[in-house]
Amino acid sequence: MVSDANVHESVNRKAKRLDRRETLSALNNVLKALEAFEGNYHKKLNYEKLAEYLKLSTQDANKILTLVLKFQKLFKNNFKYHRLKRKIVNGAIYLIADKDDTTPLIPKQIQMTQSSAKLFSDITYTFKYVNRGKGFNLKFINNELLKNMKTLKTTYPYLFTENGNNLTYPSEMGLLLGETILSYRKTHKKLTDIELNHSLIIFEEDQDVRT
């Protein structure tokens, strides 16, 4: 005869498994919702409405949001230049960190002419205030800005990043540099050597080319 204690224990185990499945499903749905930010970085996601739609309690919604932001911090800081991969060794699953060769390393010293700095600040301004966070399609060069951007991307690949859909964005370093240049221009200050994220940016005068 099965005791009441055993029945309760079995019910509790099933309830916990169900809770885990529901939590994983909710986390997956939140991640899917975040995919909508691609190409729409100027928009806002109403997380409270999303949690309500997914029928999450306030506590569960906060836990999932905390977990998502923790993942973001982890991959931004700990795996900035690496990618996690699954590897099976003797039937056991391991996680390994492979170096991400697609991410260009940022040099400790960057040399940039004053004219290139102006072009880069124009790109940053357009990205933030005209495109409102939308990327640039460099497959179709139809204006001077995109032409200059393609040239700068060749010279300074670490200042740009791509999302896989033929769209190019300023990288984290590129956005920081662009915003710094914009602040200098806004106050009419002359660009001097500055240090950003452990890199020294040296702004050089343009060479006077004469024939």
Domain residue limits, the chain: 4-99, 109-204
pTM: 0.57
pLDDT on residue 164? 64
Higher pLDDT, 42 or 86: 86
Looking at domain 109-204, which CATH architecture does it have? Orthogonal Bundle (1.10)
pLDDT on residue 13? 56
| Distance, CA of 47 to CA of 64 (rounded, Å) | 11
pLDDT on residue 117? 94
User: Which residues, including other chains, have CB under 8 Å from residue 192's CB and lie 6 or more apart?
Assistant: 203
Q: Are strands 160-162 and 82-89 parallel, antiparallel or unpaired?
A: unpaired
pLDDT in tens, 88-131: 999 899 998 887 666 678 899 999 999 999 999 999 999 999 98
